[in-house]
Structure 1
Amino acid sequence: MLQKNQTVELVIDDIANDGSGVGRADGLAVFVPNTAAGDRISAKIVKATPRLAYGVVQELLSSGPGRSRDACSGCPVYRRCGSCSLRHLTYAEELRVKGRWVSENLRRIGGIDLPAPPCLPSPASDRYRNKAIYPIRMQNGEPVLGFYAKRSHRVEPVGDCLLHPEVFSALCRAALGWIRRHRISVYDEETHTGLIRSLYLRQAEATGEVMACMIANGHSIPAEGALTEELRAACPRTVSIILNVNTARTNVLLGRECRTLWGKDSITDRLCGLSFELSPLSFYQVNRRGAEQLYAAAADFAALTGRETLLDLYCGAGTIGLSMAKRVKQLIGVEIIPEAVENARVNALRNGVENARFLCGDAADAALALEREGISPDVVVIDPPRKGCAPGLTETIARMKPERVVMVSCDSATAARDAASFNALGYRPVRVQAVDMFPRTAHVETVVLLSKGEVDSKKIRVEFSLEDMDMSEFQDGATYTQIKDYVLEHSGLKVSNLYISQIKRKCGIEVGKNYNLPKSEDSRQPMCPPEKEKAIREAFKYFGMI
């Protein structure tokens, strides 16, 4: 077994989903950040378990073909910041890796084997983000503003992030200067004291309008006028300065209450030929030009003719649905954030869209309400958060019997899980497209088309006996294979069907009869070890089973 602080020589042969390279030593997988496939390295082991190990590069002995020659060019904090985990790769290699991640997640987690075209590149790989939230903390007696370092809540000061517009840097300097000059208290996570938590910036790329939002642990801040003057002086394109109130003891970044300190309540951007109003709480894709490619792919999958009722779930400010509104008979959007729903309604009016209505509510609850109204959408578009569809949503959508479901997801793992759920309900995955919305990071957008159409007109009669089958795979939630794969990937542990069944019973989850288990009730069975029980429970949480 490998030992901590041991030095080993590795050849990196794969890239894991967090961007780390993977090599093998003494039969173990070793995960090493900032490495590329084909790299030969000397690595120091920083953590070792019986199943896997983690290391850091001590020396790059030779480079793989996908390694960039200027990985750290212009970014002095690349290796310490937790954002750009793929900046050391060429962009062509990054696209290859991301396309493979999507295909492998669909196959391994969803049991879906689809031919995947190459990952669509972003129109820009730098300066593409239109939104950033910078945590502000006290470190060594001084306020610092930047990003959290990898796997920590220590803030790494950032002068100029290459993913953000250059004007953001000027606003960050102005905000930090305001805090220092006026001796404004800074939030402390451990004690829940202090006032200023974060600086939230948003830019409308097409119009140039900028919003600056100070997130505070209180309902007011001192020197509001000075803050307004200093932010406007740093960036004359700033048209909206907002105070966001977040007094909760939580890691959630934004509170629900906003108050405009100066200027407009929102900014305006253009996307897919339409004009959109964006409040601080509105969801909006962070890569505008990339979003136009993403929505084009989704529209292609939707195959609209002008006769359809389109249901847009998790609609945010209405961007996806409104981009398709001219090609449908009726658009219904659903979003849980009231401010975003109001933005969507204003956006429909702003763009002369008269065939749309927007509802405020949880996607699953709203879909159920529409089902009770007798609404039968022809096409459903869903763009859920990273955790995927809410429990019960796939079943509700299936009962509505749309012809097609177009799923847009920022996490191909949860997309694979949800696609498998749709597949079990009769919606066959037929097309997939990876779209790079987040260059240089370990994130990739995925579009999946699921169709209700007949798979084959030919019918074959098949007879079989249930007594010969392992019925455990037909229980609610994830399959046993999916749970095993998740546990192995995230903890390095191998678990059996027996252990999973034991923990299901502990959690009150129904367990179907497994005809492959011992017939005797007195058969002695090994009990699941505590570390494997913990890993299985984490998988249950991930798949929404508990």
Structure 2
Amino acid sequence: MPLQKNQLLTLRIERLSSDGSGVAHSADGEAVFVPNTAPGDEARIKIVKDCGRYAFGILDQLLTPSPDRVEVDCPAAGPCGGCSLRHLSYKAELQAKHENVTDAFRRIGGLDVPVLPTVPSPEVDRYRNKVQFPVGRDKNGQPCIGFYAGRTHRIVPCPDCKLQPGVLNEIGNALCAFFAAHGIQPYDEESSKGLVRHIFLRRGAHSGQIMVCLVCTRAKLPHSEELVAHLREQFSAIATILLNVNAKNTNVILGSETHPLYGPGYLEDTLCGVPVRLGPLSFYQVNTLAAEQLYGIAAQYAQLTPDDLLLDLYCGMGTIGLSMVDHCRELVGVEIVPEAIESAKANAARMGDAIATKSRFFCADAGAAATRLAAEGLRPDVIVLDPPRKGCDEATLSAVVKMNPQRVVYVSCNPATAARDAKWLETQGYRTEKVQPVDLFPRTKHCECVIALSKGEIDFKKVRVEFSLEGMDTSGLQKGATYPEIKARVLEQTGLKVSSLYISQVKQKCGLEVRENHHKAKSENTKQPQCPKEKEDAIVEALKHFQMV
């Protein structure tokens, strides 16, 4: 029997859905989704909408609270659309996120893979390095900062958001007081009148530097010089103050036009030791300390060796790849946003000549990257994927398979699309080894995860092979050296860097066997660079040194 709107039911909350709502079932087995509830709650629920196989309800009365409930310490937590899990203990929140990741991989991916316990964030509150305050008016008509109520553009005043560092809240409040004192009007969406739309703030977790960006409807801000002096006097950590212009009737916060009022227009910080410069349009993980945990896990799953080529797809500013660059031979980063590629190149340059020399970044999609690397006779040993929430399209995944890496590390902010993509890769010969949820967004429904995939081949470490040399003629067995040893010899003797491809080409010329791997051309018609004479001579000298020719 269908549930009716406004019908009251007494239900027990069983678990949390992926959007953070509690899930219960009616007597007829219909799923009911109820926000602001916790697993174990017994509550009276009012039905607000029935959709046939499932319904939505609201909490009418909490009858028996779950032992996992905690006191909500933010007055805006209910109406505000931010902290949807603030009523839950952090231990229970981590467990709920683990269950949702596990459910996604089993239900969507059809994969029974190990999902490890969720890695907690080092900081549960005050962890965000970025905040975008919409500016509105409080009940007294004064300018105020806050956040939009869920699924609306109604601003809920919030002078002290628990997710932001206290200093960012203080700057937001100081700006509102300045606006009130100088008659600077907040923007009103209904009337399309007013000047200040948003206060956009960033803070470097390690440097402490702060960026202030005022999003306004026009490029002229009254009393701007006085405002700059006022902020700098109160907050010495401010590195730059900007005016961004957005006059469009849009949900997009930032416009394309930005004017510096003070400082260089960016702040500086580090992530996993990678130096970064952040402007208002830079994409950057909002929880620096947890992101460093995330990237560390990704590096473990990559299992890089000094001879490996690492391809970082969706590389953004290059932070994931550059955090691993010390462990590989070469890093190639690919991103379709030109500004991000320029930032990645600059970040690599700031890490020194040695890193910049072994790092390349270019603007392309995954398919173009595959074609370009193949033309150079290169195949990545490891590919790191860090796509947006929608995941990878099939063309990108097909390009990954074409490049044939031994390992794929998939970093995702959406377990559902990650599970879907892992399922597709499994049909192409890859095996999902394990999944590690990482909490980058405490008190919210969101969770990141890292997935380790490898080629579905025989694990040679587990294969026991026995043979005997008895009766064999061993006089013809060659002495030899590994590719890294040959490269090291060439570098030591000549100062030249040579690729595995060049070594293979010279070995073939010398009549030496080259194994069927990624260093050998797939066909004689494959277009690839040829070893220069100077490097060929150096490689031949190394082969002679190791008594291979």
User: Does TM, normalized by the shorter one, top 0.5?
Assistant: yes
CA RMSD across the alignment: 2.3
- Selected match of 2:53 from 51, 54, 66: 51
Matches within 5 A, 1:222-371: 222-352=222-352, 353-354=355-356, 355-363=358-366, 365-371=368-374
Matched, 1:77 2:76: yes
CA distance in 1, matches of 2:420, 2:57: 30
Instruction: Specify the code of the residue in structure 1 equivalent to 2:268.
Output: T
The gaps in structure 2 that reach 5 residues or longer are 463-549
CA distance in 1, matches of 2:361, 2:220: 32
Cα contact 2:144–2:159 (8 A) shared by 1: no
The change in CA–CA distance for 1:371 and 1:157 in structure 2 (over 3 A counts) is farther
CA distance in 1, matches of 2:77, 2:395: 41
1:71-94 CA-partner distances (Å, limit 9, x unpaired): x12x11111111111111111111
More divergent stretch after superposition (265-274 vs 444-453): 265-274
Q: Which residue of 2 aligns with 1:10?
A: 11
CA distance in 2, matches of 1:266, 1:385: 24
Cα contact 1:363–1:390 (8 A) shared by 2: no
The change in CA–CA distance for 1:246 and 1:379 in structure 2 (over 3 A counts) is farther
Instruction: Specify the code of the residue in structure 2 equivalent to 1:116.
Output: V
1:151-203 CA-partner distances (Å, limit 9, x unpaired): 21111111111111000111111222233333334444456554322111110
Aligned-pair distance for 1:238?
A: 0.7
Matches within 5 A, 1:401-480: 401-454=404-457
Cα contact 1:110–1:416 (8 A) shared by 2: yes
Cα contact 2:45–2:57 (8 A) shared by 1: yes
* TM-score when normalising by structure 1: 0.78
Matches within 5 A, 1:179-194: 179-189=179-189, 194=194
CA distance in 1, matches of 2:138, 2:158: 14
- Selected match of 2:381 from 361, 365, 378: 378
Cα contact 1:281–1:340 (8 A) shared by 2: no
Q: Which residue of 2 aligns with 1:516?
A: none
Matched, 1:86 2:88: no
CA distance in 2, matches of 1:455, 1:438: 38
1:479-503 CA-partner distances (Å, limit 9, x unpaired): xxxxxxxxxxxxxxxxxxxxxxxxx
Cα contact 2:370–2:402 (8 A) shared by 1: no
CA distance in 2, matches of 1:347, 1:77: 39
Aligned-pair distance for 1:24?
A: 1.7
Identical-residue share of aligned pairs (%) = 49
More divergent stretch after superposition (169-178 vs 153-162): 169-178
Indicate the SS of the match to 1:392: helix
CA distance in 2, matches of 1:366, 1:243: 37
* TM-score when normalising by structure 2: 0.78
Bigger radius of gyration among the two: 2
Matched, 1:394 2:393: no
CA distance in 2, matches of 1:341, 1:385: 16
1:17-63 CA-partner distances (Å, limit 9, x unpaired): 11111112242221111111111111222223333222222222112
Cα contact 1:279–1:343 (8 A) shared by 2: no
The change in CA–CA distance for 1:192 and 1:52 in structure 2 (over 3 A counts) is same
Aligned-pair distance for 1:403?
A: 1.2
CA distance in 2, matches of 1:364, 1:283: 23
1:230-256 CA-partner distances (Å, limit 9, x unpaired): 332342211111222334443222233
Matched, 1:21 2:22: yes
Cα contact 1:2–1:26 (8 A) shared by 2: no
Aligned-pair distance for 1:318?
A: 1.6
The change in CA–CA distance for 1:301 and 1:49 in structure 2 (over 3 A counts) is same
CA distance in 2, matches of 1:177, 1:347: 37
Aligned-pair distance for 1:139?
A: 7.2
Q: Which residue of 1 aligns with 2:103?
A: 104
Instruction: Specify the code of the residue in structure 2 equivalent to 1:386.
Output: R
Indicate the SS of the match to 1:419: helix
Instruction: Specify the code of the residue in structure 1 equivalent to 2:271.
Output: L
Matches within 5 A, 1:133-144: 133-137=132-136, 143-144=143-144
1:97-130 CA-partner distances (Å, limit 9, x unpaired): 1011111111111222101111111111111111
Indicate the SS of the match to 2:389: coil
CA distance in 1, matches of 2:372, 2:226: 48
CA distance in 2, matches of 1:391, 1:176: 47
More divergent stretch after superposition (354-363 vs 423-432): 354-363
The gaps in structure 1 that reach 5 residues or longer are 459-546
CA distance in 1, matches of 2:348, 2:146: 36
The change in CA–CA distance for 1:201 and 1:365 in structure 2 (over 3 A counts) is farther
Cα contact 2:143–2:177 (8 A) shared by 1: no
